[in-house]
Structure 1
Amino acid sequence: MAVERPLSVIVAGGGTAGHIEPAMAVADALRRRDPAIRITALGTERGLETRLVPERGYPLELIPPVPLPRKPTADLLRLPGRVRASVARTRAIIDAVDADVIVGFGGYVALPAYLAAGRGLLRNRRRVPIVVHEANAKAGIANKIGARLATRVLAAVPGSGIHGGRRPKDDGRGRPGDDGRGRSAVGGSEAEIVGIPVRQSIATLDRSALRAEARAHFGLPADGPVLLVFGGSQGARSLNEAVSGAAAQLTAAGISVLHAHGPKNTLDVSGVDPDSPAKYVAVPYLSRMDLAYAASDAAVCRSGAMTVAEVSAVGLPAFYVPLPHGNGEQELNARPIVSLGGGRIVPDAELTPKYVIDEVIPVLSDATRLSDMAVAAAGAGHRDAADAVARIVVEVIGR
Structure 2
Amino acid sequence: MRSELFFPFPSTSNPLPPMLPKEIKKPLRVIVSGGGTGGHIFPAIAIADELKRLVPRAEFLFVGAEGKMEMEKVPKAGYKIVGLPIRGLQRHNKLANLSFPFRLISSLIKSRSTIKNFKPDIVIGTGGYAGGPVLYAAAKMGVPTLIQEPNAFAGLANKWLGKHVDKICVAFPKMEKYFPKEKLVETGNPVRESMLEKAADLAAKKPAATSQFSVLLMGGSGGAKSMNEALRDNTEAIRARPQVQWKWQCGKHYYEDFSSCETARLDNVSISAFIDKMDDAYATADLVIGRAGSTTIAEIQYLGKPTILVPSPWVAEDHQTMNAKALTENDAAVLVADKDLQLDLIPTVFELADNPARREQLSSKAREMAQLGAVTRIAEEALALINLKTAES
Q: Structure 1 residue 235 and structure 2 residue 223: aligned?
A: yes
**4+ residue stretches of structure 1 with deviation over 4 A?**
69-81, 212-215, 246-251
1:139 counterpart residue number: 154
Give, in angstroms, the shift of residue 335 of structure 1.
Answer: 1.6
| 1: CA distance, partners of 2:24 / 2:276 | 42
**1:179-219 CA deviation, whole Å, 9 max, x = no partner?**
xxxxxxxxx43632222212133442453x4137679xxxx
2:384 counterpart residue number: 395
The 1:370–1:361 alpha-carbon spacing in structure 2 relative to 1, beyond 3 Å, is same
The 1:3–1:320 alpha-carbon spacing in structure 2 relative to 1, beyond 3 Å, is closer
| 2: CA distance, partners of 1:72 / 1:231 | 24
Q: Is the 8 A contact 1:196 1:306 kept in 2?
A: yes
The 1:71–1:230 alpha-carbon spacing in structure 2 relative to 1, beyond 3 Å, is closer
1:194 corresponds, among 178, 183, 187, to: 187
Relative contact order, higher structure (CA 8 A, sep 6+)? 2
| 2: CA distance, partners of 1:70 / 1:252 | 41
2:202 counterpart residue number: 210
SS at the partner of 1:189? helix
| 2: CA distance, partners of 1:84 / 1:237 | 34
| 2: CA distance, partners of 1:247 / 1:28 | 44
2:333 counterpart residue number: 343
Q: Structure 1 residue 116 and structure 2 residue 116: aligned?
A: no
**1:339-366 CA deviation, whole Å, 9 max, x = no partner?**
22121111112122x4245432122211
The 1:250–1:70 alpha-carbon spacing in structure 2 relative to 1, beyond 3 Å, is closer
How well do the aligned residues superpose, as a CA RMSD in angstroms? Answer: 2.9
Q: Is the 8 A contact 2:288 2:306 kept in 1?
A: yes
| 2: CA distance, partners of 1:44 / 1:16 | 11
2:359 counterpart residue number: 370
| 1: CA distance, partners of 2:50 / 2:68 | 23
The 1:281–1:51 alpha-carbon spacing in structure 2 relative to 1, beyond 3 Å, is closer
Q: Which amino acid aligns with 1:117?
A: A
Q: Tell which deviates more after alignment, 300-309 or 335-344.
A: 300-309
| 2: CA distance, partners of 1:372 / 1:193 | 27
1:162 counterpart residue number: 178
**1:143-179 CA deviation, whole Å, 9 max, x = no partner?**
1121112221111223454322xxxxxxxxxxxxxxx
Give, in angstroms, the shift of residue 138 of structure 1.
Answer: 1.6
In structure 2, stretches of 5+ residues that fail to align are 1-21, 389-393
Q: How does 1:302-381 map to 2 (within 5 A)?
A: 302-326=291-315, 327-352=317-342, 354-356=343-345, 358-381=347-370
1:173 counterpart residue number: none
2:50 counterpart residue number: 29
| 2: CA distance, partners of 1:140 / 1:268 | 38
| 2: CA distance, partners of 1:2 / 1:372 | 51
**1:317-356 CA deviation, whole Å, 9 max, x = no partner?**
111112233431221221212222121111112122x424
In structure 1, stretches of 5+ residues that fail to align are 121-126, 165-187, 216-220
> TM-score, structure 1 length as denominator?
0.80
Give, in angstroms, the shift of residue 87 of structure 1.
Answer: 1.7
| 1: CA distance, partners of 2:239 / 2:358 | 18
| 1: CA distance, partners of 2:133 / 2:143 | 13
Q: Is the 8 A contact 2:336 2:345 kept in 1?
A: no
| 1: CA distance, partners of 2:90 / 2:245 | 44
> TM-score, structure 2 length as denominator?
0.81
Q: Is the 8 A contact 1:162 1:191 kept in 2?
A: no
Q: Which has the larger radius of gyration?
A: 1
SS at the partner of 1:398? helix
Q: How many residues align?
A: 358
1:182 counterpart residue number: none
Give, in angstroms, the shift of residue 280 of structure 1.
Answer: 3.7
Q: Is the 8 A contact 2:237 2:346 kept in 1?
A: no
Q: Structure 1 residue 102 and structure 2 residue 92: aligned?
A: no
SS at the partner of 2:314? coil
Q: Which amino acid aligns with 2:338?
A: D
- Say which structure is richer in helix: 2
